[in-house]
Chains A and B, each alone.
Chain A
């Protein structure tokens, strides 16, 4: 449909609407037929872009596209849309919400000048936050393509995006975590075992979030009740989330279930979102439903959103746009919903989208950078599947890089092994290690709770879990008689 209307428009106008971009390097002239081709070719090598047939055909061509990109005014991305305004509601959202006042201070810059400015001392946390509404996903994706990994870390580390519900996420110098107690059949005792284990490691200040085995309303409600009772019993300043479809969450709210956060997977094109069974209207409806519950204590950010490079391609809804740029467009959708948490599930989707650890690590840093620069509270599921060229050492690398880059939160599962989704993430231990090594305590409300429970010793470190401690005993015996 999108392609058809595009061709139709050109026929009607009787002229080529697209601009051709070209550059001469040495003896060779590199021609790119449109803006999205420049973006795709400038992207670091990704198997997904190769699969889509849009990756640069040579290393030189990749750098040629970057030279072109560097000289391109940021304004270009407001005039030449990678997915036409007429056919895509995400494009309309991006353009209609663009804030010219916020854009003013960088509006004269090229992408290359923008990179230099982002890295300059002039780009402080306050200035970065102020220009965020003036930036579009295509601008941040473009600048990321001419940045090295360390550039992405440096700039993301300066961004400050703070959100809150029962705990405050994203404060400088802190590292939050999602506790992910998945179970292949949602067995309550099995879920409880993984949850209590995580709490003993001080995990779960961003969210206690489970991927349910089924999307069934009753099963999801049972899990919501289980987490809510646990939270109330121990007075834990965090929020829980059952990661079910937004429409199921809306039904659960209508039925009076104790729901904290509405979850949804989102992507960067209208068609890809349709593939997830959502559009902007139903997402806003979900947000309004959750707000009506008034369950937040320190803030009103009620949405939890997940994204990941490759989802638009796998839904055949990428419009020929490279996987990183489409991913950045998902953050425009996220930004509209004032989420508490957004995370890219970076290595989950498989090697046909991100082939190996080099691609996964790069994508994780890109996603975190783009999200933060657009003002989104970005977390990352540092993860991989068994058929990707990656292992736990690679996850160690990425988790350290992201911590240095000031990631809002990371996801952790028992022993790094998700027994329901059959992939590997970080372990509870990894979060504890990062917090201690880099002096990144959890959200302040949660940190205070850990103190109250006697879990943190006099040095501010999480004490080794002692099963004989009163809190451990109490926690681990929870629900045993139920």
Chain B
């Protein structure tokens, strides 16, 4: 066998993660390819259905105070079928009014528990290092929460800016990607076009330091310009996107 014969697709493997040149067992995929696929899918499924250990998360965040707030989606099945309920806070969990804050962080499970467990705390700490001078609300731990959940939750704390750190919909190649959504003057009814998003925060994606730089830059600009969303665009190169569509 020539090297060409062994892997004629070698040439392309640096250019794509697509599952090319897998070979055939009759007409079917070879055993190793089937199992590799099943492992990737299993990890993605575990990320979707996994539960964030919010108690452990609160301990990791200590001494920063935390508040747990559930959404109106009671469990995972309802959460997946009813995104409208995942966007609303469970009123009983909200605090009675207190002093307003500049910023509220919401760590929300979203669609990937492993993304939150791996990346939320270090990213939060990297942001805090850069946010001296701002008042920050207790960290809101959002259960069965979608992005817009942060609007109601942050509004309950009178925050000027909401920063939602949330598990993104997992793909087969990356089950633990975290996204950050920044909304100026969060309140119920905000459109997704009124947010800025930094996505793909994970081991092979955006680093905590770079992501934190971008998040804090957006927060400062949001407070200066009094807005977020399609009208706030980063001039520098990078992964900041204004959101054209509804969140997945």
Contact = CB atoms under 8 A, between A and B. Distances in A.
A385 B44 CA distance: 10
B83 interface: yes
A191 B12 CA distance: 9
B170 to A, nearest CB: 5
Given A193-B9, A422-B172, A424-B41, A464 B24 contact: yes
Given A187-B16, A413-B18, A385 B41 contact: no
A11 to B, nearest CB: 28
B237 interface: no
Nearest to A51: B82
Contacts of B175: 386
A298 interface: no
B18 A352 contact: no
B217 interface: no
Nearest to A386: B44
Nearest to A190: B16
Interface in A423-482: 423-424, 427, 429, 432-433, 436-437, 464-465, 467-468, 472-473, 476, 480
A352 B19 contact: no
B246 A417 contact: no
A192 interface: yes
A227 interface: no
Given A386-B169, A436-B27, A476 B8 contact: yes
Interface string B9-35: 101110111111111101111000100
A94 to B, nearest CB: 28
Nearest to A47: B81
A420 to B, nearest CB: 9
B15 A385 contact: no
Interface string A330-355: 00000000000000000000111001
Contact of A194 (B18, B38, B47, B81): B18
Nearest to B7: A467
Contact of B15 (A47, A190, A417, A464): A190
Given A414-B22, A417-B18, A432-B27, A392 B37 contact: yes
B81 A355 contact: yes
Interface string B43-85: 0110110000000000000000000000000000000111110
Contacts of B22: 414-415, 427, 429
B11 A416 contact: no
Contacts of A468: 2, 5
A465 B21 CA distance: 10
A138 to B, nearest CB: 26
Contacts of B94: none
A193 B22 CA distance: 12
A113 interface: no
Contacts of B11: 189, 193, 476, 480
B12 A314 contact: no
B33 A386 contact: no
A336 B9 CA distance: 43
A197 B9 contact: yes
Contact of A189 (B15, B26, B40, B48): B15
A477 to B, nearest CB: 9
Contacts of B134: none
A352 B9 contact: no
Nearest to B175: A386
A465 B24 contact: yes
B20 A414 contact: yes
A351 B45 CA distance: 13
B165 interface: no
B103 interface: no
A212 interface: no
A202 to B, nearest CB: 11
A464 B21 CA distance: 12
Contact of B169 (A193, A197, A385, A433): A385
B92 interface: no
A66 interface: no
Nearest to B33: A415
Contacts of A417: 18-19, 37, 40, 172-173
B111 interface: yes
Given A351-B80, A386-B45, A480-B11, A467 B5 contact: yes
B20 A193 contact: yes
A50 interface: yes
Contacts of A473: 4, 8
A387 B169 contact: yes
B65 to A, nearest CB: 32
A432 B172 CA distance: 23
A476 B3 CA distance: 14
Given A187-B16, A429-B28, A386 B170 contact: yes
B236 interface: no
B16 A422 contact: no
B95 interface: no
Contacts of A350: 248
25 contacts: A50-B81, A51-B81, A183-B15, A190-B16, A192-B12, A193-B9, A193-B12, A193-B16, A194-B20, A197-B9, A352-B80, A386-B45, A388-B80, A391-B41, A414-B19, A415-B19, A415-B20, A422-B171, A427-B29, A429-B22, A433-B28, A467-B4, A468-B2, A476-B9, A480-B11
Interface of B: 2, 4-5, 8-9, 11-13, 15-24, 26-29, 33, 37-38, 40-41, 44-45, 47-48, 80-84, 111, 169-173, 175, 246, 248
Q: Which 7 A-B pairs have the closest CB atoms?
A: A415-B19, A193-B12, A190-B16, A422-B171, A189-B15, A433-B27, A190-B15
